Structure 1
């Protein structure tokens, strides 16, 4: 039997006098034979007339190839020439990407479905050409200005099972072959285009194919390359667009795949910026998964906490991502078991050095302010997770007693840093509000939301968390905490009354803030009020 998956020979234009040509099938109109001559490569306009000619020509090439394959199934030399022509014709058709307004005409033709079906063609070079064609046709940068055409194209592709055929094609690719590797990259590009044009397609991609397990398998490959990076990016995008996909990933053992992929960087740094991006995508994917409560159980069972502690110890770039993942793991429900396991595995010893001094190396999208917020939030969540007389809470509080309570000094430093940043931010906001009034403009809801976002960017949430910790320490059963905190504020020429006033402002902000988790906000407000009253006594 002939292996039809072998790559085509070097593409050359068919010689009309070829001995292998079948005269009955290759007899075409002179107009179609001169089609390329009628299309000026440098013409400024790709017209409907030219499209119709291309459609007719492509349909004939498809039919010719099918007939020859049926007629000479054991004689590839009889149909090879027709496949070369079909390959060329598909490539020529990419000119349609320059005229998105003509896409509906292509979709309404029979050729549209025939072209999609070529993804299942026995010759992988033909299916690869189709992948490249649709990669160009779905280019989100081009289709952004043609929303109606984009929607029509996506709906038609989904209807014709394009995503399933795309998956069935990618699994037969051998990435050791350069052409097949390019096809895989273009396939991932199509998925990215889909999710950019219509985010709801993320669930369709997962439901109508096995792309999700394929992506998990692809990121497990040890050797780094562009397709591994791209696969990690697509996985991150899919998981970012809904809990349904994250839950499905957890059910198929995907948490283990993510942890194994991350374990590669537990004791070494990425080699370059692209590998850093891969690491960032893997951490983002894991964070998205941990938004689902069921996945936290999988995470604990697969020893995710242990891996993060190792990363914190090693002090490599992955330690930054480990802090980010811990922050997600300790919030959103079921945090007690995660916090308990973290303390049991001596994670506090690795975490607090990060609290005292942020690392110098940061992964993309995470800066020192974000890192400090994550670390403070982790400590805050542990204190909230453990009951008042719990041995675990005592162990957390014990870290603030060590080394002459130097960690309390760090808390006061953080309070001072973020308090000043917020004050500076609010002065700028007031100036902007004044400018709007002078221009006779009213403050809109958009303006209010924008100003709130500026405060958060300046570190408002971090300030609240730091002040909560200071408040908790002051009201704890360790009287030395309050003495030290008061003394530190005096040394910095800041009255403790100002600190308490800031706490009251934080409480008011929390009461007035709009949040999805109203129960959590109410608990936080109640806890802060009780602590504040305890301090004032």
Structure 2
């Protein structure tokens, strides 16, 4: 009867969930695991959402009211062993916790209170890829994206340390499968959220985050793309010390080859982070570095790179801008034709013209163009670069507004 939603209201009246809550803590781990499997079947969000009466959601509310999520999380410690029964229990637990999020996202507040991230990081620490790692990485991402709760990592610096240790696995070797690559992306996305948290960022700096990120960048590993994305987020926090540290640690040596496409992007055919995103993160890092004090030695070191090799980096920025000229013309034409005006239906959904315009820009890759143009305008303030850019634009006949 576990998927017969018509009996769920009766089960709630009979306090069946209360009985399951009691059995969850049974000394016999087999009984406890069977209960978790049953809860997995009963809370399956696809089953709940297909109920035409909507009454089955009452069972989810009862599960939450009886503190089942907290019991499941505290029970995880009993399932740390590698035996099959423990593995099945962990998998079913992660399924239940995920089902509840789909139906009642606010349940994640109780997950934080029960310190679920501590357990997720434990399962992510395994040396060899395991299916549980995928579930753990997805749950951790959901938790960190929930109502700024990523700030809670500031209260647990040991969790920050654990995450960095897990990420260090990919410093010197590449993921061996699409699933492992997805885990890497999930965890680096968690890291990016932590970087954006003013509460957590000081801890990351103390743990020498930049050193960790530069290793896969130097070695041209798969994690290079994700690491550059994290560096982009870090420098985007606008602390000059981060940008200066990046330069001091020889980041420029590896940044510009990435811009020029030397040794490739490090991306596989199945990479979740596509080439355009990779290119944009590299450009955003350069833009952040060019935002340093123009009188500082650090700014001059960055500008010198644009002077080197007969202005090859200037040419690269120009070529990126030129590559998108026709796309930009199409976008401007769409704007003139009011393609981004909001329909009454969209207005009811809270969609704005600015949002539609932004989404189309991303879809067309024009976020890359905008970043490249912003860099170009900074370069035009430098007399040697200005002369070279003006000459190049004239020679190529590009219709670029570089003034």
- For normalisation by structure 1, the TM-score amounts to 0.69
Distance change (3 Å), C-alpha of 1:144 and 1:110: closer
SS of match in other structure, 2:172 = coil
Which residue of structure 1 lines up, in the alignment, with residue 401 of structure 2? 499
Partner Cα separation in structure 2 for residue 429 and residue 475 of structure 1: 30
Partner Cα separation in structure 1 for residue 135 and residue 145 of structure 2: 15
1:196 to 102, 118, 140: 102
In terms of mean alpha carbon deviation, does 213-222 or 422-431 score higher?
A: 422-431
Partner Cα separation in structure 2 for residue 149 and residue 427 of structure 1: 50
Distance change (3 Å), C-alpha of 1:240 and 1:272: same
Which residue of structure 2 lines up, in the alignment, with residue 416 of structure 1? 322
In terms of mean alpha carbon deviation, does 248-257 or 260-269 score higher?
A: 248-257
Which residue of structure 1 lines up, in the alignment, with residue 76 of structure 2? 170
Partner Cα separation in structure 1 for residue 290 and residue 228 of structure 2: 17
Partner Cα separation in structure 2 for residue 391 and residue 158 of structure 1: 58
Which residue of structure 1 lines up, in the alignment, with residue 128 of structure 2? 223
Deviation at 1:433, TM superposition (A): 4.2
Q: Deviations over 1:446-489 (max 9, x none)?
A: 4834344112321232222211111111113xx11001111111
Question: How many residue pairs get matched?
Answer: 394
Partner Cα separation in structure 1 for residue 307 and residue 56 of structure 2: 61
Partner Cα separation in structure 2 for residue 102 and residue 430 of structure 1: 57
1:483 to 365, 387, 395: 387
Deviation at 1:252, TM superposition (A): 0.9
Distance change (3 Å), C-alpha of 1:158 and 1:447: closer
2:288 is the alignment partner of 1:381: yes
1:278 to 183, 187, 190: 183
Q: Deviations over 1:71-91 (max 9, x none)?
A: xxxxxxxxxxxxxxxxxxxxx
2:208 is the alignment partner of 1:303: yes
Deviation at 1:210, TM superposition (A): 2.6
Partner Cα separation in structure 2 for residue 391 and residue 174 of structure 1: 52
2:297 is the alignment partner of 1:395: no
SS of match in other structure, 2:196 = coil
Gaps of 5+ in 2: none
2:21 is the alignment partner of 1:121: no
Q: Deviations over 1:295-338 (max 9, x none)?
A: 221111111101111111100100010011111111245x3222
Would the aligned equivalents of 2:225 and 2:278 in 1 still touch at CA under 8 Å?
A: yes
Gaps of 5+ in 1: 1-94, 501-534
Deviation at 1:150, TM superposition (A): 5.3
2:265 is the alignment partner of 1:372: no
SS of match in other structure, 1:400 = helix
Distance change (3 Å), C-alpha of 1:149 and 1:416: farther
1:185 to 83, 91, 113: 91
Q: State which structure, 1 or 2, has the greater radius of gyration over its C-alpha atoms.
A: 1
Would the aligned equivalents of 1:173 and 1:180 in 2 still touch at CA under 8 Å?
A: yes
Distance change (3 Å), C-alpha of 1:364 and 1:200: farther
SS of match in other structure, 1:463 = helix
Deviation at 1:117, TM superposition (A): 1.3
Partner Cα separation in structure 1 for residue 156 and residue 344 of structure 2: 52
**1:102-113 alignment runs, 5 A limit:** 102-113=7-18
**1:262-273 alignment runs, 5 A limit:** 262-273=167-178
Partner Cα separation in structure 2 for residue 200 and residue 398 of structure 1: 51
Deviation at 1:135, TM superposition (A): 0.9
2:115 is the alignment partner of 1:210: yes
SS of match in other structure, 2:290 = helix
Deviation at 1:122, TM superposition (A): 1.2
Would the aligned equivalents of 2:220 and 2:266 in 1 still touch at CA under 8 Å?
A: no
In terms of mean alpha carbon deviation, does 219-228 or 143-152 score higher?
A: 143-152
SS of match in other structure, 2:273 = coil
Deviation at 1:204, TM superposition (A): 1.8
Deviation at 1:162, TM superposition (A): 0.8
Would the aligned equivalents of 1:280 and 1:364 in 2 still touch at CA under 8 Å?
A: no
Would the aligned equivalents of 1:188 and 1:231 in 2 still touch at CA under 8 Å?
A: yes
Distance change (3 Å), C-alpha of 1:419 and 1:391: same
2:365 is the alignment partner of 1:463: no
Distance change (3 Å), C-alpha of 1:321 and 1:299: same
Q: Deviations over 1:384-441 (max 9, x none)?
A: 2x2221111111112111111100000001101223323234546767949x9xxxx8
